[in-house]
């Protein structure tokens, strides 16, 4: 049997508060003309990444199945600078040259059931080379969606800025969590999401405390316009303590993305700021959390915030550049008799060439200034300093 092609594209759910129909025929005609022009422009300018995944209809099941992935290989150089007291601890990493290789596979399926509900499933995993030359296997997603409900491993509903344009993905503030969620559009431009999440499912987040606790609660509102997207979310969590009552943790985030044209060139300006009290896993990037969270003990309180601003510029159809700057700040009010502090600043930029669809070649640089001031801990002194990284990479999307 010949396989039939298809596209995985979930139908839009009806808004809770639908927009009233237009009453002016003249306005309706003008809107229809604008819609036709927009559709033509979208057909011409639509990027490969924005299109719904293409797949095949599975024989006997009737569901659409799509398989995709990326392969990223490169040459990377890391240099570390630290003062004499930090190097005396012997914990400052050595300068190194590596050849990172990352491969990601994603399998998606979707079908409309007899009752009108849309059922979708996604499974994504990646292989990454580690410092010992072996492979680390990470599950990025394993979720099922039925209508407005979803469950499984997926990206946290709290997160906003994804940093997809950068190769140093570990510098990006994203989390994979176990969740049960509900998402529904309130209007044509505003959607609401409610979810129960467990950040302990993320293999890349160190667990600062042990003990049984309830899942975190996350509520999110998103506005999506033609040029502007605004994201706001709050999270509540229980933090168990050893031999004491649990702490109440809370976090909030607001982010925005603006896409526009300047001097006949397309640009994307994006950013976010997040704050947390006793909820450190909700701020910072993967590397920030990997550095700071081990200093949290079972009875440790924390306060912190993180922010990032990025700019992407399309010079031509083939050439583009991106840059971002971020700051991470975590204060530990009780470390002995002193207050501890972790501060990490990052700056990164790249230049990307896309000669054909699905192929990217780029050069990226990153600088991080790391200051950890925790009295009596040699580990903290050894992690303070500056790290400079540069990577030449090639990425193929299939």
Note whether 278 and 164 are within 8 A (CB). no
Q: How far apart are CA 261 and CA 252, in angstroms?
A: 31
Asked whether residue 305 carries a pLDDT value surpassing 90, the answer given is yes
Integer Cα distance of 244 and 238 in angstroms: 13
d(CA 374, CA 337): 11
Please indicate whether residue 297 or residue 15 has the higher confidence score (pLDDT). 15
Cβ atoms of residues 242 and 212 within 8 Å: no
DSSP conformation letters of 40-109? HHHHHH--GGGSPPEEEEPTTT--EEEEEEEEEEEEEEEEEE--HHHHHTT-SPPPEEE--EEEEEEEEE
d(CA 378, CA 10): 53
pLDDT for 131 beyond 90: no
Q: Dmax of the chain from CA atoms? A: 78
- For the segment 315-372, what is each residue's pLDDT rounded down to a tens digit? 999 999 999 999 999 998 765 555 788 899 999 999 999 999 989 999 999 999 988 8
pLDDT at 42 > cutoff 70? no
Kindly indicate the confidence band of residue 46, based on its pLDDT and cuts at 50, 70 and 90.
very low
pLDDT score, position 348: 93
Higher local confidence (pLDDT), 93 or 65: 65
44: helix, coil or strand?
Answer: helix
pLDDT mean over 115-140? 82
Distance of alpha carbon 118 from alpha carbon 71, whole angstroms: 31
Q: 25 falls in which pLDDT band (50, 70, 90)?
A: very low
Average pLDDT, stretch 225-249?
86
pLDDT digits (tens, 9 = 90+) for 133-184: 667 788 889 999 999 999 999 999 999 988 888 877 655 667 889 999 999 9
The contacts of residue 161 (CB under 8 Å, 6+ apart) are 172, 173, 255, 257, 270, 271, 272, 308, 310
Q: Where residue 44 falls among pLDDT bands split at 50, 70, 90?
A: very low
Sorted by where each starts, the structural domains of the chain and their CATH numbers stand as: 65-397 (2.40.160.10)
What pLDDT score was predicted for residue 45? 46
pLDDT number for residue 374: 74
- Of the ranges 85-89, 182-186, 247-251, which is most confident? 182-186
What value does the mean pLDDT of the chain take? 82
């Amino acid at each position: 049997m010949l396989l039939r092609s298809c596209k995985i594209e979930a139908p839009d759910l009806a808004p809770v508060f639908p927009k009233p129909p237009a009453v002016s025929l003249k306005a309706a005609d003008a809107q229809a003309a604008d819609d036709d022009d927009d559709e033509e422009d979208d057909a011409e300018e639509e990027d490969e990444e924005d299109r719904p995944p293409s797949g095949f209809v599975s024989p006997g099941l009737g569901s659409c199945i799509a398989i995709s992935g990326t392969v990223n290989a490169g040459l990377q150089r890391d240099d570390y600078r630290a003062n004499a007291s930090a190097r005396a601890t012997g914990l400052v990493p050595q300068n190194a040259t590596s050849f990172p290789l990352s491969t990601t596979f994603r399998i998606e399926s979707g079908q409309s059931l007899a009752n009108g509900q849309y059922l979708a499933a996604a499974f994504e995993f990646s292989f990454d080379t580690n410092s010992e030359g072996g492979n680390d296997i990470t599950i990025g997603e394993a979720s099922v969606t039925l209508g407005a409900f979803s469950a499984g491993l997926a990206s946290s509903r709290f997160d906003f800025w994804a940093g997809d344009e950068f190769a140093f993905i570990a510098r990006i503030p994203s989390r994979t969590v176990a969740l049960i969620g509900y998402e529904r559009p309130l209007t044509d431009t505003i959607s609401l999401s409610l979810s129960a999440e467990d950040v302990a499912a993320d293999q890349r987040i160190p667990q600062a405390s042990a003990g049984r606790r309830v899942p975190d609660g996350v509520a999110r509102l998103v506005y999506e316009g033609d040029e502007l997207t605004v994201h706001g979310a709050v999270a509540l969590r229980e933090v168990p303590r050893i031999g004491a009552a649990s702490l109440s943790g809370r976090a909030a985030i607001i982010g925005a993305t603006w896409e526009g044209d300047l001097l006949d060139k397309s640009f994307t300006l994006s950013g976010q700021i997040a704050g947390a009290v006793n909820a450190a896993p909700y701020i910072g990037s993967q590397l920030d959390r990997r550095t700071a969270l081990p200093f949290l003990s079972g009875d440790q309180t924390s306060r912190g915030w993180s922010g990032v601003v990025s700019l992407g510029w399309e010079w031509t159809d083939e050439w583009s550049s991106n840059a971002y700057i971020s700051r991470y700040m975590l204060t530990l009010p009780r470390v002995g008799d002193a207050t501890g502090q972790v501060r990490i600043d990052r700056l990164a930029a790249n230049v990307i060439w896309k000669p054909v669809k699905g192929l990217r070649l780029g050069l990226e640089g990153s600088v991080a200034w790391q200051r950890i001031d925790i009295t009596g801990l040699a580990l903290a002194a050894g992690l303070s300093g500056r790290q400079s990284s540069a990577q030449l990479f090639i990425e193929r999307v299939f």
